[in-house]
Amino acid sequence: MNGSLTKERRNKMILSVILGIVCVIYVLPVLAVLINSFKLNTFVKTNAFALPTGEMWAGMDNFIKGMTFGNYPFWNSVKYSVVITILSTALILIGTSMAAWYIARVNSVFCKALYFLCVFSMVVPFQMVMFTLSNTADKLKLNTPWTIPVVYLGFGAGLAIFMFVGFVKSIPLEIEEAAAIDGCGPVRTFFTVVVPMLKPTMISVGILEIMWVWNDYLLPYLVLDLEKYRTITIHIQYLKGSYGTVDLGATMALILLAIIPVIIFYLACQKHIIKGVAAGAVKG
């Protein structure tokens, strides 16, 4: 008995060490960004992993330089990133939750085909459709921060519908039938009965979509009119001087500003991600 306990404890210790090493590997890039954001540009290139002490220390100069570089205001980029993230996430949550409820409750060939098409969209590489998408977005005037959420809805629908359908199937149909007997129509039933029960999955999907949209670079770069609208990720890419030279210190500073909100948001909401994924995927 004691031998089996000792073996189990040793296995847990080995697993903890392995997972600890994996965590350190994942944290190293973030740590490198943090260190180099306070370092002079010259030393970022020559001593990337050295601590910013002595003559390497740049203080807040990198942050000031990054936010004032060029003729495009940094705070405009922050504003457009926030607008795109909020509108896209709200549109995805509302649109996909309603679609998932319909798919889960209407047992038809059309609904099954629609569900499999949404799931299949998750395995289609973005590079296969990006040029056609860019051209279509320009023709349909989807190249503004207020219209690009429609494009994000198309790309975010696959995962969201997959998770929502799994959870809706676990909701007893009798609850909705009772609401119908009380006089609730489909819309009222959805918003007053189904949505409150979808809360764990909605929180989980919302967190995942926020992190994706906020960090996305390629889709806004291809779709938006860059002379008028730039997100934070695009603003960072424009930190170039003459002949293509890049101020790495300022770049690292802006990258740090961009990832801090996401890290804080994820750490605060990670329990909801786990709970929502379990509710949407396992119960279904």
How high is the pLDDT of residue 276? Answer: 61
Q: At what angle do helices 74-105 and 61-68 cross, to 10 degrees?
A: 80
Q: Is there a contact between 188 and 99 (Cβ–Cβ < 8 Å)?
A: no
Please state the rounded mean pLDDT for residues 2-6: 61
User: Helix or strand or coil: residue 228?
Assistant: coil
- Other C-beta atoms closer than 10 Å to the C-beta of 139 total 9
pLDDT, tens only, 234-245: 988 888 765 567
| Domain 73-282 class, CATH top level | mainly alpha
| Per-residue model confidence as pLDDT tens digits over 178-224 | 888 888 888 888 888 888 888 888 888 888 899 899 999 989 998 99
The residue ranges of every structural domain in the chain are 2-62, 73-282
Instruction: Note whether 133 and 127 are within 8 A (CB).
Output: no
In the chain, the percentage of residues whose pLDDT exceeds 90 is: 17
Distance of CA 217 to CAs 202, 232, 234, 260, Å? Answer: 24, 9, 6, 17
What pLDDT sits at residue 283? 46
Report in angstroms the alpha-carbon separations of 94 from 128, 154, 180. Answer: 27, 13, 21
Sort 195 into a burial class: Cβ within 10 Å, 0-12 / 13-18 / 19+.
middle
Over residues 110-167, the pLDDT tens digits come to 988 989 888 888 888 888 888 888 888 888 888 899 999 999 998 888 889 988 988 8
Structure tokens at 157: 């629908």
